[in-house]
Structure 1
Amino acid sequence: MTDVKNNVKDAVLLALSEGKITEKDKKLITGLNENNNQMHAHVFKPVVPYVYPLFKLHKLSPQQIEGKIVPPTRLVHATKEGPLYRLEKWVSPYLTDISRIYCQQEFLLDTPDLLSNIKNLNESADMSKYSTINLFTLDVISLYPSIKPEIAMSALEHALNGSTMIDKRKAILKTFTEIIFTNSFVTFQENVYTGKKGIPTGNCISRQVADIMLHWVLFINIWPEMIQLWSLILFWRRFIDDVFGIWKGSRRQFDLFVSKLNEAAKRFGIQFGDCQFGKSVNYLDVELSLGENNNIDYRLFKKETDARLYLNTDSFHPNHVFKSVVFSQMIRVIKRNSQDHTCVEDLEELKEDLMKSGHKEGTLTETEPEAVLRSIEHDLYEREDKKPITDKVVFSVKFFKEVTELRKLVI
Structure 2
Amino acid sequence: MESVPRIERVVDSLERTGFICKRQANYLLGEVTPRRFYLLPKVHKPKKKWLNPFMPPGRPIVSDCGSESHRIAELIDFYLNPLSTRHSSYVRDTYDFLDKVKSLKVPPGAILFSLDVESLYTNIETPLGLKAVRDWFSRYPDASRPDEAILELLELNLTCNDFEFEGEFYLQIKGTAMGKRFAPAYANIYMAQWEETVFPKCEKTPLSYLRFLDDVWGVWSHNQQDFETFLGVLNAHHASIKVQAVVNEQAIEFLDTTVYKGPDFPSTGQLDFKMRVKETDTHALLHHQSFHPRHTFRGIVLSQLLRFRRICSREEDFQEARRTLFGALRARGYLATNQLSHTHFEMLHL
Both proteins in one fold, TM over 0.5: yes
Residue 220 of structure 2 is aligned to residue 250 of structure 1: no
Residue 133 of structure 2 is aligned to residue 156 of structure 1: yes
Equivalent residue runs for 1:298-377 within 5 Å:
298-361=273-336, 362-373=338-349
Equivalent residue runs for 1:244-283 within 5 Å:
244-266=217-239, 269-283=240-254
1:192–1:113 Cα change, 3 Å: same
After superposition, the CA RMSD in angstroms is 2.1
Residue 205 of structure 2 is aligned to residue 206 of structure 1: no
Q: Give CA deviations for 1:221-273 in whole Å, capped at 9, x if unaligned.
A: 212221x212xx1111100000001110111211121112111232xx20001
Maintained 8 Å contact 1:222/1:264: yes
2:94 corresponds to which letter in structure 1? T
* Distance across 2 between alignment mates of 1:64 and 1:49: 29
Maintained 8 Å contact 2:201/2:233: no
2:37 corresponds to which letter in structure 1? V
Q: Aligned-pair distance for 1:66? A: 12
Residue 168 of structure 2 is aligned to residue 191 of structure 1: yes
2:227 corresponds to which letter in structure 1? F
2:147 corresponds to which letter in structure 1? K
Give the corresponding residue for 1:379. Answer: none
Maintained 8 Å contact 1:52/1:77: yes
| TM-score, scaled to structure 2 | 0.92
| Range moving further from structure 2, 166-175 or 283-292 | 166-175
2:258 corresponds to which letter in structure 1? E
Equivalent residue runs for 1:65-76 within 5 Å:
68=53, 70-76=55-61
* Distance across 1 between alignment mates of 2:61 and 2:314: 38
1:162 corresponds to which letter in structure 2? R
Maintained 8 Å contact 1:330/1:371: no
Structure 2, gaps ≥5 residues long: none
Q: Aligned-pair distance for 1:311? A: 0.7
Tell me the secondary structure at the aligned position of residue 139 of structure 1. strand
* Distance across 2 between alignment mates of 1:371 and 1:54: 37
Equivalent residue runs for 1:32-71 within 5 Å:
44-61=30-47, 68=53, 70-71=55-56
Structure 1, gaps ≥5 residues long: 31-43, 375-411
* Distance across 1 between alignment mates of 2:145 and 2:94: 36
Residue 255 of structure 2 is aligned to residue 284 of structure 1: yes
Give the corresponding residue for 1:94. Answer: 79
* Distance across 2 between alignment mates of 1:274 and 1:70: 26
Tell me the secondary structure at the aligned position of residue 58 of structure 1. coil
* Distance across 2 between alignment mates of 1:172 and 1:340: 53
* Distance across 1 between alignment mates of 2:276 and 2:154: 37
| TM-score, scaled to structure 1 | 0.79
* Distance across 1 between alignment mates of 2:136 and 2:49: 43
* Distance across 2 between alignment mates of 1:50 and 1:66: 23
Q: Aligned-pair distance for 1:81? A: 2.8
Tell me the secondary structure at the aligned position of residue 301 of structure 2. helix
Q: Aligned-pair distance for 1:336? A: 1.5
Tell me the secondary structure at the aligned position of residue 291 of structure 2. coil
Q: Aligned-pair distance for 1:371? A: 4.4
Q: Aligned-pair distance for 1:6? A: 2.8
Q: Give CA deviations for 1:300-323 in whole Å, capped at 9, x if unaligned.
A: 000000101011111211111111
1:247 corresponds to which letter in structure 2? W
Give the corresponding residue for 2:8. Answer: 9
Maintained 8 Å contact 2:198/2:233: no
Q: Aligned-pair distance for 1:338? A: 0.6
**Greater share of residues in helix:** 1
Give the corresponding residue for 1:229. Answer: 204
* Distance across 1 between alignment mates of 2:145 and 2:306: 46
* Distance across 2 between alignment mates of 1:356 and 1:168: 54
| Same amino acid, percent of matched pairs | 23
* Distance across 2 between alignment mates of 1:64 and 1:160: 40
Q: Aligned-pair distance for 1:22? A: 4.0
Q: Aligned-pair distance for 1:18? A: 4.3
Residue 112 of structure 2 is aligned to residue 135 of structure 1: yes
Tell me the secondary structure at the aligned position of residue 307 of structure 1. coil
Maintained 8 Å contact 2:162/2:169: yes
Give the corresponding residue for 1:107. Answer: 90
1:334 corresponds to which letter in structure 2? R
Residue 202 of structure 2 is aligned to residue 216 of structure 1: no
Q: Aligned-pair distance for 1:65? A: 6.3
| Range moving further from structure 2, 358-367 or 325-334 | 358-367
Tell me the secondary structure at the aligned position of residue 146 of structure 2. helix
Maintained 8 Å contact 2:109/2:249: no
| Range moving further from structure 2, 149-158 or 159-168 | 159-168
Tell me the secondary structure at the aligned position of residue 211 of structure 2. strand
Number of residue pairs the alignment of both structures matches: 345
Maintained 8 Å contact 1:234/1:248: yes
| Range moving further from structure 2, 340-349 or 174-183 | 174-183
Larger gyration radius, structure 1 or structure 2 = 1
1:135–1:89 Cα change, 3 Å: same
